[in-house]
Structure 1
């Protein structure tokens, strides 16, 4: 989907603004927040899955996980001919960047789809070639930690149970460790001031992110940061981005997955996240 160009008051096209946000997301997360070993864990799940696997990367963003799967597969000569990759996200600009920057693996099938993590069944059955079940579902980078509205977690797990293939399907869900076991919040990774980070594709463009404030209310940690986009020394735009992370306990997860009809198989612990693998009960 092409992002329409809608001029704002400063004369900057809205598509440029979306592009800046998507590119900075890529640069910042890869530099400060992501453990690169996570894609290897998901690839190992892929290799152990159904012989003609359908992989659904939920909240794919700019496609980092799918790109990582393709890179790992290329390194080991993995045969993509029977594999279907689906990247789903609720942000058209993120998907647009993913579509432009990631090529489908040779002989493989790659689809980018606009949709919600809370309506997976509808998204899959509404595809041009409807999908009734997936063999590997991925929710990476602690995205579930941002489901802080009451009922969202349960709704997501209910949808996971509906779209996983019975028996062999697996869901790998990452929980960002935004709270210690004591329940006390820790600041999200990343410096208080990044300094100017150069664009990887637009000469002269730089990004700078500055931490503005943090606070904790009940079990939700909130962090606000200001992102400044410059063309050399000229400020093009400034945006304030607020991120919320909720406290997820093992008891909460077990309760929700039991209701949904899912069973936890095992966990993989990384420095900043925990990946929990589930199957249908």
Structure 2
């Protein structure tokens, strides 16, 4: 079987989400190797219900749910659908707004295409950064407009690897979170937080293929996967080939993506220190087999 490509057909990328193909690959990979192990949506749903109960009923501003690093919207849509199915939660009011924030337009497009949101539920997919939450259009209505429930799921905070980025994100959370009743949930993968186990980062080291569900004849082939730890940073590398399988049995490479993912590793004590220094406090810690969840509120 031949596998060929011209120079113009091959794309070299370092971003895990920087094409429509990669956005679908991320969902397929997560569904096979990560999501079966995760218990996050039920945890966030219960916390959302508690935050909703604590919301000031006299407020003239909407109850805002913000999913930072929403990706293709798995957690946000899970919250919406879970709340719709829970008799204790009333989403009939027009005072709840769900916002999914991500830096990748391809992931946001996939969220809008693939995540079912019931009619009448106010949901928006917003292009933006975890380091600039105050730039979200919904939050530009003055200091009175705050986030009531925020999540940064799937260990996404660990992607803030450059010096000062984690603290910058936490300062943004402190700036937009509703005083008193507002809650922010962030999670760390247990394998990453203060871990020296290089084998625990990437669940797949051998070559593997995932068939596309969207693009006919397309498969995603991962090769050259490896992991290492440099200082306090986990580095996961892989090549992801987007391959078109032709009817004559030949293969054509449409994209060759060289992906390098860096994840910051903080000990619980280090993270608690950053939280304290940015005007927040940890009010609850939930440790499951795969992830540890921290519930934060404004201090004071």
Query: With structure 1 as the length reference, what TM-score do the two structures score?
Result: 0.88
Aligned to 1:120: 133
Aligned to 2:82: 72
Cα RMSD after superposing both structures: 2.6
CA contact (8 A) 1:179 1:185 kept: no
Answering whether residue 279 of structure 2 is matched by residue 279 of structure 1, we say no
CA contact (8 A) 2:207 2:224 kept: no
Q: Deviations over 1:100-158 (max 9, x none)?
A: 22243332210111111011012245669998201110000101112111100100100
Cα distance, 1:259 vs structure 2:
1.4
Answering whether residue 15 of structure 2 is matched by residue 9 of structure 1, we say no
User: Which sections of structure 1, spanning at least 5 residues, go unmatched?
Assistant: 1-7
Answering whether residue 214 of structure 2 is matched by residue 201 of structure 1, we say yes
Cα distance, 1:197 vs structure 2:
1.1
Structure-1 separation of matches of 2:167 and 2:92: 35
CA contact (8 A) 2:218 2:244 kept: yes
After superposition, the Cα gap between the structure-2 partners of 1:196 and 1:179, relative to the gap in structure 1 and judged at 3 Å, is: closer
Aligned to 1:243: 261
Structure-1 separation of matches of 2:195 and 2:51: 36
SS at match of 1:267: strand
Structure-1 separation of matches of 2:109 and 2:200: 30
SS at match of 2:27: helix
CA contact (8 A) 1:46 1:136 kept: yes
SS at match of 1:48: helix
Residue 64 of structure 2, aligned match among 27, 45, 54: 54
Q: Deviations over 1:235-279 (max 9, x none)?
A: 222111111122111121111111111110111112221111111
Please list, as runs of the form range in 1=range in 2, the aligned pairs for 1:250-261 lying within 5 A after superposition: 250-261=268-279
Cα distance, 1:189 vs structure 2:
3.7
Aligned length: 272
Structure-1 separation of matches of 2:144 and 2:151: 16
CA contact (8 A) 1:62 1:95 kept: yes
User: Which sections of structure 2, spanning at least 5 residues, go unmatched?
Assistant: 1-6, 56-61, 246-250
Answering whether residue 19 of structure 2 is matched by residue 18 of structure 1, we say yes
Q: Deviations over 1:16-39 (max 9, x none)?
A: x71101000111112112334211
After superposition, the Cα gap between the structure-2 partners of 1:227 and 1:129, relative to the gap in structure 1 and judged at 3 Å, is: farther
Higher RCO structure (Cα 8 Å, ≥6 apart): 2
Residue 42 of structure 2, aligned match among 40, 43, 51: 40
Structure-1 separation of matches of 2:195 and 2:259: 27
Show structure 1 runs of 4+ deviating over 6 A. Answer: 128-131
SS at match of 2:204: coil
Aligned to 2:237: 224
Answering whether residue 200 of structure 2 is matched by residue 187 of structure 1, we say yes
Cα distance, 1:204 vs structure 2:
1.4
CA contact (8 A) 1:179 1:186 kept: no
After superposition, the Cα gap between the structure-2 partners of 1:260 and 1:118, relative to the gap in structure 1 and judged at 3 Å, is: same
Residue 137 of structure 1, aligned match among 150, 155, 179: 150
Structure-1 separation of matches of 2:215 and 2:140: 34
